[in-house]
Amino acid sequence: MSVANCYLPWEAEIVERTQETPDIFTWRLRFTDPEIARQYTFQHGQFNMLYLYGVGEVAISVMSGDGSSLLHTIRAVGRVTQAMMDLRVGDRVGVRGPFGRGWPLFDARGQDIVFVTAGLGCAPVVSSIRYVVANRPDYGRLVIMQSVRYRHEALWAPQYDAWRGLPDTQVLLTSSRDKTRWPLWELGRVGVLLDQADYDKNNCYVMMCGPDQMLRDTAKTLIEKGVPGPRVFVSLERNMQCAVGHCGHCQMGGKFVCKDGPVFPFPEVAALMETEGF
């Protein structure tokens, strides 16, 4: 990010666009300034501020890529994101980033890796899963747990199937609102998967993403099961406007989620996640 003016976006072009589900789409972006494209790097778990011309900015995790091929997966939920869904290949947007603290993928080398996600929370995690898969020898067992509301909402289902076939890898899926149980699927919230997961609780890193309540409940269960608290990481969402720790919206107690997070070791935020209003 430009240190001279951290508020100023750079222009980027949509070079590819995929409609993943009726309300989720993926953009491949390229900075139009080759110099910026060359300099841009990110860590898994960081995010960019994407700007829609004339409307405003939203925080979106960086899925993968580099400055000339940057992937973002966006769910159309409100003013900005719904209008973003109408953009076409060739259209221009603004990008600022990357911001925040990412996943501890480096520290986690040699350990078992447990990913837990719910809902669209999967976006920031999927890029890390891909990273672990690509660097499989560096890590121990890989457990991927994902819950969705309805099975048909499961984004990247084929991708999950592919991961399932990898050695030392477990993929556990559940849908919380479906009525019928599908093969390879459980019914219920993510908690129902925890008992099936197979990992070394003393030598693992857990990375989680999803609604606050799911993060809190799952983290507590995992810690009760013996996973050391500092090994449990959560990625949080708060209202974000400046992304550089100035605007104050993302504060959670003394933390600025944008710069101190969005990824936190659970113990850093555990107390605040217990109380409504932080």
> Contact with ligand FAD (CB under 6 A): which of 31, 37, 70, 81?
81
DSSP one-letter code for 53: T
> Contact with ligand FAD (CB under 6 A): which of 73, 147, 170, 174?
73
Distances (CA, A) of 249 to 82, 167, 246: 22, 43, 9
Q: In which residue are the tokens 């925080």 written? A: 59
**Least distance to other proteins from the beta carbon of 165, Å?**
35
Distances (CA, A) of 8 to 60, 123, 191: 17, 25, 42
Tell me the three state secondary structure of residue 28. strand
Report what 74 binds from ligand FAD, ligand SF4, other proteins, none; CB cut-off 5-8 Å by kind: ligand FAD
C-alpha dihedral over 111, 114, 120, 123, to 10 degrees?
20
Interaction residues for ligand FAD, span 5-34 (CB under 6 A): none
β-bridge mates for residue 12, sequence order: 31, 93
> Contact with other proteins (CB under 8 A): which of 30, 57, 71, 118?
57
Would you call 118 exposed, middle or buried from its count of C-beta atoms within 10 A (0-12, 13-18, 19+)?
Answer: buried
> Contact with other proteins (CB under 8 A): which of 26, 68, 221, 251?
251
Q: Which is nearer to other proteins, 137 or 254 (CB)?
A: 254
> Contact with ligand SF4 (CB under 6 A): which of 56, 211, 248, 253?
248
Q: Is residue 74 part of the contact set for ligand FAD (CB under 6 A)?
A: yes
Contact set with other proteins (CB under 8 A): 1, 3-11, 13, 32, 51-57, 77-80, 82-83, 86, 92-94, 237-239, 241-242, 244-249, 251, 253-254, 256, 259, 271, 275-278
